[in-house]
Amino acid sequence: MTEAADSTDFVQLLDQAGRRVEHPTFAYAGTDADIAASLRDMVLARRIDTEATALQRKGELGLWPPLLGQEAAQIGSARATREPDLIIPSYREHGVAWCWGIDPVDLLGTFRGTAMVDWPSRPDGFHLYAFVIGTQTLHAVGMAMALQRDGLVGNDDPSANGAAVVYFGDGATSQGDVNEAFIFAASYAAPVVFFCQNNQYAISEPIALQSRIPLYRRASGFGFPGVRVDGNDVLAVQAVTEWAIEHARSGKGPVLIEAYTYRMGAHTTSDDPTKYRRAEEEEQWRAKDPIERVKTYLLGTGAIDQAWLDALAVESEQLAERLRAGCAALPEPLLSEQWQHAYAEMPDLLVRQRAEYLAYEASFLQEAK
């Protein structure tokens, strides 16, 4: 922690006390109103997350991977993107999904077991959640290669350009696929922003087990820029991500962003962090909360007041209520409908198997009569 805080390469624009900080390279371009919009997204993302965790505890979800503590990393980066950028998430990017207009009830279906990972509200530019660690980084490279071939990179008109922004964690950086993705993206100068949320733990394993050097420095070995940003500072995350995406969109190739943050909750609801980390460490990070510092700052400038926060609290509770009701109302899937999506056209074998299954099920109904 201290290494990051002391490093000159650590980009921070709003410190944990809520004070704006100057940086020689990066500056936040938005207004206080923009910051208030980011705050709203962070608060709502956290409310989605805590509600989903609660739903899992009540037995409504099989599992939930919480984002608690990583709101600034996700909201700040997501707010730096727009179409035709492509978002390639792992499985914890609920805040990014929120910013891309995805109905959080759709997310719940994946973790309730009523659906796979395509969601009715998912826009084309937001790819499917990925559960096998690091695999999606290669998909992002391929999508970026498609952007190049589709003429969506390096145009004079910056608004015509896009980049692929792929999310992964510190643990994923040990995967072969992630390293291969770095190599392929560098070789083809593919427009990829590798957005690593270093939340300090791969389930129980601390970052020191994955890397002996700060992760962002790995980029130089692959031949592209790497930046470490305070992942709990939504202003800095957005500023750095905007720079990185513009770098990629303009045809200069990939960038690695290491968003230095902390997973305040468990890896998933099946995990027990008390077995591998100390309460003091969590307390130190609680003081760096990504939401509190923004509240402090905006209350100080007068951009928001208590009434604004109270209204946001009401909105949060309404959202939570909608999640509870939406979760309970998710339609139960039918096994008989699962056969149709294995192939473009059902092969004879699957047609027969499905018919056998339906006949077998029907035989119980016959007996019941």
Partner 1 sequence: MSTMTMTKALNAGLRRALGADPKVLVFGEDIGKLGGVFRVTEGLQAEFGPDRVVDSPLAESGIVGASVGLALRGYRPVVEIQFDGFVYPAFDQIVSQVSRMRFRSHGRFSVPMVIRIPYGGGIGAIEHHSESPEAYFAHTPGLKVVTCSNPLDAYWMIQQAIADDDPVVFFEPKRRYHEKGEVDTEAADAPMSLYQARVIKPGTDATLLAYGPMVRTCVEAAIAAGKEGRNLEVVDLRSLSPLDDATILASVRRTGRAIVVHEAVGTLGMGAEIAARIQAECFYELQAPVLRVTGYDLPYPPSRTEDGYLPDLDRVLDAVDRSLAY
Q: Which is nearer to partner 1, 18 or 142 (CB)?
A: 142
Q: Interface with partner 1 includes 163 (CB under 8 A)?
A: no
Among 307, 329, 349, 368, binds partner 1 (CB under 8 A): 349
Write down the least CB distance from residue 39 to partner 1, Å. 33
Among 47, 139, 267, 293, binds partner 1 (CB under 8 A): 139
Q: Which is nearer to partner 1, 43 or 145 (CB)?
A: 145
Q: Interface with partner 1 includes 181 (CB under 8 A)?
A: yes
Q: Interface with partner 1 includes 184 (CB under 8 A)?
A: yes
- How many residues bind partner 1 (CB under 8 A)? The answer is 40
CA–CA separation, 20 and 76 (whole Å):
16
Write down the least CB distance from residue 45 to partner 1, Å. 24
Q: Interface with partner 1 includes 334 (CB under 8 A)?
A: no
Q: Interface with partner 1 includes 63 (CB under 8 A)?
A: no
Q: Which is nearer to partner 1, 4 or 255 (CB)?
A: 255
Q: Which is nearer to partner 1, 135 or 174 (CB)?
A: 135
Among 57, 82, 286, 341, binds partner 1 (CB under 8 A): 341
CA 252 to chain centre: 24
Write down the least CB distance from residue 182 to partner 1, Å. 10
Tell which positions 94-133 bind partner 1, by CB under 8 A: 115-118, 127-128, 132
Q: Which is nearer to partner 1, 11 or 166 (CB)?
A: 166
HEC string of the chain? CHHHHHCCCEECCECCCCCECCCCCCCCCCCHHHHHHHHHHHHHHHHHHHHHHHHHHCCCCCCCCCCCCCHHHHHHHHCCCCCCCEEECCCCCHHHHHHCCCCHHHHHHHHHCCCCCCCCCCCCCECCCCCCCCHHHHHHHHHHHHHHHCCCCCCCCHHHCCCEEEEEECHHHHCHHHHHHHHHHHHCCCCEEEEEEECCEECCEEHHHHCCCCHHHHHHHHCCCEEEEECCCHHHHHHHHHHHHHHHHCCCCCEEEEEECCCCCCCCCCCCHHHCCCHHHHHHHHCCCCCHHHHHHHHHHCCCCHHHHHHHHHHHHHHHHHHHHHHHCCCCCCHHHHHHHCCCCCCHHHHHHHHHHHHHHHHHHHHHC
Q: Which is nearer to partner 1, 183 or 287 (CB)?
A: 183
Write down the least CB distance from residue 145 to partner 1, Å. 6
Write down the least CB distance from residue 255 to partner 1, Å. 18
Segment interacting with partner 1 (CB under 8 A) among 42-50, 182-190, 243-251, 283-291: 182-190
Q: Interface with partner 1 includes 149 (CB under 8 A)?
A: yes
Among 67, 145, 207, 291, binds partner 1 (CB under 8 A): 145
Q: Interface with partner 1 includes 353 (CB under 8 A)?
A: no
CA 368 to chain centre: 49
End-to-end C-alpha distance for the chain, whole angstroms: 68
Contact residues: partner 1, CB under 8 A: 88, 115-118, 127-128, 132, 135, 137-150, 164, 176-177, 180-181, 183-184, 187, 338, 340-344, 347-349
